[in-house]
Structures are given as structure tokens and as C-alpha cells.
Structure 1
Amino acid sequence: MKVTMLATTCDKKDCPTVYQTDRGTILVQGETPTDHGLNIPAHETLVEIPMDLIRKAFGDQPGA
């Protein structure tokens, strides 16, 4: 799989980041929340990233 970084919150490798793949999918790197109260299947996971990162990755301007 080829992965291209779309946006990140810093220059380090351990920050929330959004990636695009050559499979037509998006990968996200972020914190793993534990206090969500959801029933997530064992083969899936949740990651929490800042909304500002989504706006940066996809060009969504606040208030637009």
C-alpha cells in the first residue's frame, strides 16, 4: 500500500495525521480513546483527532 500524508498537527511522527492511500482510502493516526462507551468489534478501532486536522486535510474552512 502506498501512503501519502495529507495533513498533520506537527513535524514529529507521533502526532495526529491524516493519510491517503492508493487504495482510495484514508488512514488516520491519533489517540485511542477509552471513554467512548461504544461497542466496537474486535477487528475495528477508534482514533480521536482534532477537527482542525480534518479541516486542514480536506480544505474545509471554519465558518464556510
Structure 2
Amino acid sequence: MRMRFLGSTSEAGACPTLYETDRGTIVVQGLQVTDPEALADLRDVLEGEGAVEVPRELLTEIARRVLPGGSADAVPTSDGTPSATA
């Protein structure tokens, strides 16, 4: 599998970062969620799976750039306002 860098909201290449694969999937690089209460909220976690926290702004920015028509403009940020940073 090969990956192509899509973007990050971090400086100096630190995580979280998103990649697109040659298999048509997205790979998330980031800090693993370790909070026991948060992990208890996950469903159907298979062996080898984990959770990574990603800022909503990173997802909306990448969707705006990658999806036809930039349809992510209407996706609200964590404070409820639409975001599509350039």
C-alpha cells in the first residue's frame, strides 16, 4: 500500500495528519486515545484497532479540498459554526 499526504493542522509535520491510500482509503496519524471513559464509548473494537483523535477542522479542510464541489463547507466546527479554512 502507498500513501499520499493530504494535510495536517499541526506545525512541523506533527500529528494529526491524514493520508489517502492507493486502495481508496484514508489513514489517520495521531495520538492514540487512552482515556478509559472515552474508550468505553467505542463500539465493536476489533483486535488491532485503536482510536485516534482528529480535530474537526482537519477533516472539513481535507474534505473541502478532496471532494468534488467542496461540499464540506457546510460541516460545522466543534463550536457549531461552519468552517472551511484555506
TM-score, normalized by the shorter chain, greater than 0.5: yes
Q: Give the TM-score normalised by structure 1.
A: 0.80
Asked which structure has the greater RCO (Cα within 8 Å, sep 6+), the reply is 1
5+ long unaligned stretches in structure 2: 65-71, 77-81
Q: Give the TM-score normalised by structure 2.
A: 0.63
Question: Superposition RMSD on alpha carbons, in Å?
Answer: 1.9
5+ long unaligned stretches in structure 1: none
**Partner of residue 33, structure 1:** 33
| Bigger share in helix | 2
Of the two, which has the highest radius of gyration? 2
**Partner of residue 18, structure 2:** 18
Aligned residues: 64
| Bigger share in strand | 1
**Displacement over 6 Å in runs of 4+:** none
Identical-pair percentage = 39
